[in-house]
Amino acid sequence: MDIRETNRSWKGGVAKNITFIVTKDCQLACKYCYLVGKNSKERMSLDTAKAAVDYILADREQFHQESVVFDFIGGEPFLEIDLIDNLCDYIKEQMFLLDHPWFNSYRFSFSTNGINYHEPKVQQFIQKNILHLSIGITIDGTQTKHDLNRVWKGSGRGSYADVVRNIPLWLSQFPSMGTKVTVSSDDLPYIRESVLHLFGLGITEVNINCVFEPVWKEGDDLILERQLVALADDMIDGGLYQHHVCSFFSSDIGRPLDPDRENQNWCGAGMMLSVDAAGNFYPCTRFAAYSLRSKAPIIIGNVRDGIDQDLLRPFLTLDRLTQSPPECRGCEVASGCSWCQGENYDAAPESTIFVRSTAICKMHKARVRANNYYWSRLSRKVTKEELSAMQSTRTTCCDI
C-alpha cells in the first residue's frame, strides 16, 4: 500500500481536536516562542495520558464528533517518542475494543522542530502509523532567517543545518504537507527570499503567520508589504502560483464582514481540549500556565473529575462581536484578520477572554494591500476560469 494514501473514512472537517502536552521541554529556545514556561521537569506519564483517553472515549455525548485529531505538542513532542508510541497503541486498542466510531476516522498530528525526525524510534513510529499521521516540520526559510530566531537552548547556535537535513526524508513521507513559518519584527526583511528558498527545497505549501504578541515597531507594516509585493512578482512572473501556495495570499481576505452571517469566533478555544502532565484540562493549550506571561491558567477540569461545563461555557459564547472593539467591527478589511484567544486573555487589562488584542492590526492591513496586488496581477495573467479555480481552493486556516 502506498504510504501516501489516506483512509477514505476520514472526515477532517468535523473532527474533535484533542491535544496532549507531553512535555514542556525543547532543544530550542526560539526567540519568538509564546511558551514562556518551558522546562525539563513537566513530562506526561503514560498513566495520566491513559486516564485522559479513557475519559474521552467513554463520553460519546460530550465527544460526539465523527472524527478526531490527537495532537501531540511540547516543547518538542518527539522528545517523548516512547510515551507517544505507547499511548497511540493504547488509543487504537481502546477504540477497537469499544467499537468506537473514531477507530476508522482518526489522525495523530505533530508539529515538530525536525531535529530528531530521522532517529530510529521516530521513524519506526512513523512507519507504523503512516496512514493516520500528519506531521509538519517547522523551518523558517533561509539559514539567515531561521537562525535569527530558532536557536539551540544554552548555546544560542542556529538550528537550520540540523533541521534542513531532514526535509528530504520528511517530504518523501509527507509530500503534500506544508511548513509553518513565523514572522516577527527582526526577520521581516527576509520573508521573500525565505518563501522562495522553501519552495526550492521542494515544499509546495508555506503557511506563514505574524506573531500575535505586541512586538511590532513603527514601519514594520511597510516592510511586510514591500516583501510580499516582491514575492507576488516572483510567484507570478516565475509561474510558481501554479503549483505553490503561500498562505499570505488568500482570495478571502480584505473585505468587510457581515455581522449577521460572519460573526463566528476565529479560533477553536473551547471547542478543542488540551491536557497536561498533571492531568488538567484546558480549552486550548494557550491557557496552560507555560503559555501565559501575566495571567493565571484557566483549567476547566481534570482526568479524575472530568470537564466542568460551567467553566467551559464562557468559551462557547465567544464570537467576533462580543470581543472586538468598534474599529474592528466596522473595519473595511476585517475578513482574514485573526486572533488568538489565549493571547487576548494574556494581553487584556483584566482577567477576561472577551477583550480582543489588536497588536497585529497594521500587519493585517499591510498583508491585505499586498494580497490585493497579487490577485490583481494574477487576474491579468490567467483566464477567469483559472483564477476562479485558484481562488476557490487556496484558502487556509493558517492566516495571520
Q: Can you give the pLDDT at residue 13? A: 59
Distance, C-alpha 214 to centroid of its chain: 19
The answer to whether 70 and 88 have CB atoms below 8 angstroms apart is yes
Instruction: Tell me if the bond preceding 75 is cis, omega within 30° of 0.
Output: yes
User: Quick one: pLDDT at residue 186?
Assistant: 97
pLDDT given at position 11: 60
Q: How confident is the model over 287-293, as a mean pLDDT?
A: 97
Question: Which residues, including other chains, have CB under 8 Å from residue 106's CB and lie 6 or more apart?
Answer: 67, 68, 69, 70, 91, 95, 132
DSSP per position, 132-162: GEEEEE---SSHHHHHHH-BBTTT--B-HHH
Residue 304 in this model has a pLDDT that exceeds 80: yes
Q: Name the grid cell of 361.
A: 492590526
Per-residue confidence band for 222, with pLDDT thresholds at 50, 70 and 90: very high
Q: Does residue 2 register a pLDDT over 80?
A: no
The pLDDT assigned to 256 comes to 96
Q: Is the pLDDT of residue 31 over 60?
A: yes
SS3 string, 265-297, reads CCCCCCCCEEECCCCEEECCHHHCHHHCCCCCC
- Does residue 173 contact residue 126 with C-beta atoms inside 8 Å? yes
Residue with cell 495523530: 108
Predicted pLDDT of residue 6:
47
How far is residue 59's CA from residue 51's CA, in Å, rounded to a whole number?
13
Closest Cα to residue 285, out of 295, 294, 276, 296?
276
How many residues are given for the chain?
400
**Position 269 pLDDT exceeds 50:** yes
Helix (H, G, I), strand (E, B) or coil at 193: helix
Query: What is the value of pTM for the model shown?
Result: 0.93
For residues 308-315, average pLDDT? 96
pLDDT at res. 281:
98
For CA atoms 301, 305, 307, 309, the dihedral sign is negative
pLDDT at 343 over 80: yes
- Per-residue pLDDT reduced to its tens digit, 96-120: 999 999 999 999 999 999 999 999 9
**Mean pLDDT along residues 23-43:** 96
220-237 average pLDDT score? 98
* Cα–Cα distance for residue pair 8/27, rounded to 1 Å: 37
* pLDDT exceeds cutoff 70 at 273: yes
Q: What letter represents residue 17's amino acid?
A: N
With 50 as the cut, is the pLDDT of residue 3 above it? no
Q: Mean pLDDT, to the nearest integer, of 241-258?
A: 95
Which helix (H) or strand (E) segment holds residue 58: the answer is helix 46-58
The DSSP line for 311-365 is: HHHHHHT-BHHHH--HHHHT-TT-TT----HHHHHHHSSSS-SSS---TTHHHHH
Q: What pLDDT shows up at residue 398?
A: 38
> What is the rounded average pLDDT for all residues in the chain?
93
| pLDDT-above-90 percentage for the chain | 91
Q: How confident is the model at residue 393 (pLDDT cuts 50, 70, 90)?
A: low
The Cα diameter of the chain in Å comes to 60
Q: Which pLDDT belongs to residue 388?
A: 78
How confident is the model at residue 389, as a pLDDT? Answer: 76
